[in-house]
Structure 1
Amino acid sequence: MQTSPNPDTPGSAVRIRKAASVLLLRQAGAGFEVFVQHRVNTMDFAAGMVVYPGGRVDPQDAQAVSRGEIPAQLMAAHALRWAGCSVAEADTEAQREENAGIVLAAARREVLEETGLLLDAQQLLPWANWVTPAGFPRRFDTYFFVAALREGQEPVHQTTEAVVSRWVAPQALFASLERGEIKMMRPTQRTLLDAMALGGIEQITAAQHQILSVHPDGTDTSSASPVRDSELCPRNF
């Protein structure tokens, strides 16, 4: 497990594509629930895994930024949070802010496409950044966000990439993982465990931890078995 800078060697044969993934959260009693998708087994990436809504950055996300759909002040704030990640690898502050706006626009679009829910851009908060290791046929530089849903905001299952989408308590999700009933990749587990460590939604959305790009080894990221804290780098919280 390594954090920034990217340890990959120059000339990697597989292009690393930027992507966005969103932990949609809602209050549930004294705790919270997270909205997850159970991906179909025929997908060419993360087949059969439990994931969050998300997908790769598309050209339309840059167009959304150009149209002014993402507030400039919000892009600037996100650029600061992503300072330890690849979006900060730009020559000018304006370019870094635009990069931050693009991944934010991608997160917002993917949630809309996969759940029918159009989030206020302000609801999407930077959370973590993980990069698929070298040696995989598809590689993603994934920007994870958290979003606490407001009253009346109800995501639905409307993606063909998953067999079902549902709300679930994190504790129940990890219990299913321990029993071997579901599979979750390391980044999915770690991002949720870090949210659980903070307690409730109020604490999660108030977090201002330093975000560093995480470059796991192939065993960490491909394994569907439960995470053990000793296997991974320390939390940034």
Structure 2
Amino acid sequence: MTTSPIPATPAEVPIRKAASVLLLREAAGGFEVFVQHRVNTMDFAAGMVVYPGGRVDAQDGQAVAAGELDPALLSEHARQWARTSILGEGPDRAEHLAGEILAAARREVFEETGLLLDPGQLRPWANWVTPAGFPRRFDTYFFVAALRAGQEPLHQTTEAVISTWISPQELFASLERGEIKMMRPTQRTLRDAMEQGSIEQIIASEPAISSVHPDPRDSLSGNAVRNSEKQFNA
């Protein structure tokens, strides 16, 4: 099933919150990112190269309600997500929603790679919303996470044919050769990481995150991204 736009109205396709994580590790000459090559039968992002992640589920809200996440961390994440839909239910709900997204990021990484991240390793990075006209729509919150010694993700998801570490340069070279496909949010979030230079600089940066609502024509790998620039504060 393709991810190309199909005739639809926004009301026909609900927007689900989701989380996606750029797992990073040091490598010779820079850093590597952990990616998955999705199977061609998926109903969203079929055949695409993606990061570990998935939609927010009810159990993620339960994790927040049970006090499994540090309130101070959730307050900080709510602040960083302030220019996204996280405030749509009001300021009093922002920290809980930030917690649901963080819990989803941890859970999805664990389910797909066997790696349970410390909540503090997950740093807010970007927010992209699938445009109207797609069969599935997601309000996706991207995180970056620098892995520590001994933390090694595995390939253990049936949604992908392979999971692997790769340098951003090699990944984009494969894209240019037409060997792989990457949606625009995947490309842009990784390009933004590359612009920071090193993992240390990526983690130290504080992106001014605003929701990106791309033109539907910009959602596949062959088109340029519009209106998605990100500013970083020292």
Matching residue's letter, 1:133: P
Identical-residue share of aligned pairs (%): 68
Q: CA deviation at 1:122?
A: 0.3
What TM-score do you get using the length of structure 1 for normalisation? 0.91
Residue of structure 1 equivalent to 2:137: 139
Aligned partner letter, 1:90: E
Who is 2:3 aligned against? none
Alignment of 1:5-44 (within 5 A): 12-44=11-43
TM-score after normalising by structure 2: 0.93
For residues 155-192 of structure 1, give each alpha carbon's deviation from its aligned partner in whole angstroms, at most 9, with x where no partner exists: 00000000000000000000000000000000000000
Instruction: Give the gaps of 5 or more residues in structure 2.
Output: 1-8
- Any unmatched runs of 5+ in structure 1? 1-9
| Structure 1 letter corresponding to 2:158 | T
Give per-residue Cα distances to partners, 1:3-44, cap 9 Å, x unaligned: xxxxxxx96221000000000000002310000000000000
- Displacement of 1:137: 1.2
Gap change, CA 1:166 and 1:128, over 3 Å in 2: same
CA distance, structure 1, for counterparts of residue 85 and residue 54 of structure 2: 17
Displacement of 1:232 in angstroms is: 4.8
Shift of residue 234, structure 1, vs aligned partner? 2.4
For 2:47, the equivalent position in structure 1 comes to: 48
In the other structure, the counterpart of 1:82 is: 81
Q: Output the aligned Cα RMSD.
A: 1.4
Q: Over residues 122-163 of structure 1, what are the superposed CA-to-partner deviations in whole Å (9 max), with x where a residue is unaligned?
A: 000000000000111110000000000000000000000000
Residue 235 of structure 1 corresponds to: 230
Residue 90 of structure 1 deviates from its aligned partner by: 2.5
Of the three residues 163, 177, 180, the one matched with 1:182 is 180
Q: What's the offset of the Cα at 1:219? A: 1.0
Q: Is the 8 A contact 2:52 2:109 kept in 1?
A: yes
Q: How do 1:62-101 residues align onto structure 2 when only pairs under 5 Å count?
A: 62-93=61-92, 95-101=93-99
Q: Deviations over 1:60-97 (max 9, x none)?
A: 0000111111110000000000000011223233x110
Q: Aligned equivalents of 2:69 and 2:202: distance in 1?
A: 22
- Mapped to 2, the partners of 1:132 and 1:12 lie a distance apart of 13
SS of 1:134's equivalent in the other structure is coil
The 2-side partners of 1:125 and 1:193 are apart by: 16
Work out whether residues 13 and 136 of structure 2, in 8 Å CA contact, stay in contact via their aligned partners in 1. yes
